[in-house]
Amino acid sequence: MNQFMKEYNDADTQHAVFHLNAKERKICNDRNNSRNRCWYTEEAAQNRLNLIENDQEMERLIYDNDADDTEVD
């Protein structure tokens, strides 16, 4: 089971036992590449995910960012 999970989830097909043909390996690689491109997964893994709790907080963030952009030195 460990070997299957390494191949299926981690796309570790160098010493493949279960995913022997190119089509099966491509599916594993595509899934792995998709996970690596996902910004949500990256942020969650690095504990940098700041979820907005309510509408007031969202408005505050928008207006604060707009005020910072319009200031001229």
Model pLDDT, residue 45: 82
2-28 pLDDT, tens digit each: 888 887 777 877 778 888 888 988 888
Find all residues with CB under 8 Å of 43, minimum gap 6, and list them: 49
Give the C-alpha separation, 73 to 69, whole Å: 11
Nearest to 19 by CA among 4, 33, 39, 1: 4
pLDDT at 39 over 80: yes
